A and B are shown apart, each in its own frame.
Chain A
Amino acid sequence: MTDRETDAVSDFIELEDVRKVFDVRRKKGFLRRERHEVRAVDGISFTVPRGEIVGYIGPNGAGKSTTIKMLTGILTPSGGRIRVAGIEPSRERTKLAHRIGVVFGQRTTLWWDLPLIDSYKLAHRMYRIPDARFRENLDRCVELLDLADLLAVPVRQLSLGQRMRGDIAAALLHDPEVLYLDEPTIGLDVVSKARVREFLRDLNATAGTTVLLTTHDLQDIEQLCKRVMVIDHGRLMYDGALAGLHEIGESERTLVVDLERELPPLDITGARVLRVEGPRQWLAFPATASAAPLVTEVASSYPLVDLSVREPDIEAVIAKMYADRAELG
C-alpha cells in the first residue's frame, strides 16, 4: 500500500472541503413554502491514491451517494474542490466519463428489453473502445463474472445477481482507472456476493483499478477494503484502517455464557451484563482485552455449562461512534 502522506503525486481522487447544500422547500399551508437548507455533504476532505480499495460507509442519508455523485460529475458541489485524475468532474463530465466506471446498485445502466450483449455493444461505440481492446475486456469479464450463458438473454429476464454482474462488466469495458460502486451487493444472495467480491479483488490486483465502494454490508468492507471512511451528517467521522475503527469506536466483544440455572446478572470485573434470558447471559467486554481471564472468573465463581465469544460487528461500532459524538456535540 502506498504511503498516502508522501506520495501526493499519485493521489488520484482529491476532495478539499467539499460541500453540497440542498435547498428544500416544504409545503406549509396553501401557497406558503418553508425553505430550509440541508447540508448533505458538509466539508469533506480526503485523497485516494491509485490502486486503493476504499470502503465508504455510513447510515442512510449520511451523504455517501451525494459524494459519489459529485465525484462522477452528476452533481455540482456547492463549495470546495474536487479533482479526479486531475479533472474537475462537474466541468468536464464527458472527458472524465472515459476514465471512470460507475455501478449504481439500485439503478441498472443495462437496456431492459435487449439481450445483455447489446448493452456492451452500445458501450463499445459510445466509449469508442478499440475493437481488440473491447474483445479482450469483454472476454475477461465474461469469464470472471460467469456471463457466457447470459449474453443472449434480455436483461429483464436476468436475476438481480446476474444483472449486477452484468452491470459491473458494463462499467469496466472501457478500462476505467477508477470504479465507483454504490451498494454493489445490495439484495444479492451469498453466492453472488462472494463472486462480486472475488472479482473486485482480482480487478484491483491485476489491473490496479482504484475502487471506491459504498455499502451496507460490512462483510464487503472486511473482505475488500484495507481503508475505510465513515461519514455521517455529511462529515467524515473516521478515515483509516479497519482495525483502527474498532479502537476508536471502543468496540466490545460479547461473551455468551450458559449457566446451570437462572441467576441474577453476574458480577464480573472488566465486563458488564448486556442481557439476561433464563440461564443465558450476555457479557460485554472491550475488544482489545483478552477473553481468557474473564472466562476463568466466570467458571470459578458460577456454574458454567457452555460459552461462546462473539466478535464485534462494525455496524455496532459505528453506531457507538455516532452515539459518542452525539453526546459530545
Chain B
Amino acid sequence: MAEHAPGAPTAPGAPGTARATGVGGLAAFRIIAAMWIRSTMTYRFSFAMTLLANFVVTFFDFVVILLMFTHVEGLGGFGFAEVAFLYGTTSTAFGLADLALGQVSRIGRRVRDGTLDTLLVRPAPVLAQVAADRFALRRLGRVSQGLFVLVWSLVLLDLDWTVLKVCLVPLMVLSGAGIFGSVMVAGAAFQFWARDAAEVVNSFTYGGNTLLQYPPTIFARELVRGVTFVLPLAFVNWLPALYVLGRPYPVDLPESTAFLPPLVTAVCALAAGACWRAGLRSYRSTGS
C-alpha cells in the first residue's frame, strides 16, 4: 500500500490558505479555472460568439462611459476628472473582486442540488473551487474597463502628488477588491441557510459599486454614514479617494481614516471567513 506523507498539523486555515497535504487555494483556482476555459472552448462556435459579443459589449461600455464623462461638467461639486477617478477606482476594485470571487454567488445552486458534495471530497479549499466554478474569461472585461477609466483620470487629474498619495492609489484599489470580495463571500455563506439570497448580496456588491462611482456629496448624509460605519463600502474608495483628491469627507472623520482600508479589509476578510466556515458546517447536502 502506498505510504502517504503525514501532513504537518496545521490549524484550520483561513479560506484560500494551503493545507499541509492539499493543493493551495490559488493553485486549485488556477487548475479549475483552466478546466472551465477548456470546457467552454469545446463548443467552438458558441465560444467564438460569446467572445465577440463580450468584446462588443465591453466596447460599447467604453463608449457610454466616454459619452457620460464628456457631458458631465461636474457632479456634486466634483470635476470631471475627479468623478472619473472615483469611477475608475471602485470599478477596478469591483472588477478584481468579481474576477476572483464573483462566481461564489452561484453557490446557492450547488447547495440546492447537492453537487457541492463533489467539491467537498477534493483536497482543496472549497472556497477556491467555488470561486473558479464556471470561470469565464469575460470577467476580464470589467477590470479592463475600470483600469481604463482609472488611468485616464490619473492623466487628467491636476494634483499635488505626494509619495503617500501615489502609494494610496494601488492600496485602495486592492483593499477595495478585498472589501467587495469579503461581501461576496459572506453573501455566498448566507446562501447555505437562505438558498436564494444571491440577489440580496448582488444589491450590496453591484449596488455598492454603482454608489461609489459617484461623489458622496450627492447622496443623503444618512446613506453616507451607513456605508461608512455599517457596511464599510466607503473605505473602498470614498475615504481614501477624497484624501488623494484633497477634498473633505461629508461625514466628519479624521484625515488618517483614509489609510484605514487595509485594516478594514482584514477585518472584513476575517468576518467573511468565519461566515463561510459556519456556512459550510451547516451544509446539509441533499438526500442522494
Contacts and interface: CB of A to CB of B under 8 A. Distances in A.
A114 B37 CA distance: 11
A72 B4 contact: no
B23 A107 contact: no
A73 B124 CA distance: 13
A90 B121 contact: no
A80 to B, nearest CB: 15
Contacts of B210: none
Interface in B102-153: 114-115, 117-118, 120-125
Contact of A109 (B7, B35, B42, B118): B118
A286 interface: no
A307 to B, nearest CB: 42
B2 A94 contact: no
25 contacts: A73-B121, A74-B120, A74-B283, A75-B285, A76-B281, A76-B282, A92-B12, A94-B125, A97-B122, A98-B4, A98-B7, A98-B123, A102-B121, A104-B118, A108-B118, A111-B35, A112-B39, A113-B40, A114-B35, A118-B38, A125-B27, A126-B28, A126-B124, A175-B4, A183-B288
B50 interface: no
B31 interface: yes
Contacts of B43: 113
Contacts of A182: 288
B274 to A, nearest CB: 15
Contacts of B115: 107
Interface stretch (B14-22, B173-181, B258-266): B14-22
B284 interface: yes
Nearest to A99: B4
A93 interface: yes
B236 to A, nearest CB: 32
Interface of B: 1-2, 4, 7, 12, 19-23, 27-28, 31-32, 35, 38-40, 42-43, 114-115, 117-118, 120-125, 281-285, 287-288
A65 B288 contact: yes
A187 B143 CA distance: 47
A106 B114 CA distance: 11
Nearest to A108: B118
A94 B124 contact: yes
A97 B121 contact: yes
A14 B11 CA distance: 23
A114 B38 contact: yes
A101 B263 CA distance: 41
B17 to A, nearest CB: 10
B121 A126 contact: no
A125 B121 contact: no
Contacts of B282: 76
B197 to A, nearest CB: 16
Contact of B22 (A72, A97, A104, A114): A97
Nearest to A51: B1
A113 B36 CA distance: 9
Nearest to B7: A95
A91 B12 contact: yes
A69 B124 CA distance: 17
A61 B287 contact: yes
Contact of A125 (B23, B117, B283): B23
A162 B73 CA distance: 66
A74 B121 contact: yes
B285 A128 contact: no
A68 B35 CA distance: 28
Nearest to B41: A113
Given A65-B287, A97-B123, A105-B288, 20 more contacts: A65-B288, A72-B121, A73-B120, A74-B117, A97-B122, A107-B115, A107-B288, A108-B118, A109-B118, A113-B40, A122-B31, A125-B23, A125-B27, A126-B23, A126-B122, A126-B123, A127-B123, A128-B21, A182-B288, A208-B1
Contacts of A133: 2
A111 B114 CA distance: 16
A207 B1 contact: yes
Interface in A41-87: 61, 65, 69, 72-76
A100 interface: yes
A154 B284 CA distance: 31
B8 to A, nearest CB: 10
Contacts of A128: 21, 23
Interface string A113-130: 110001000100111100
A114 B285 contact: no
A91 B7 CA distance: 14
A177 interface: yes
Nearest to A183: B288
A274 B117 CA distance: 45
A296 B39 CA distance: 69
Nearest to A87: B7
A95 B120 contact: no
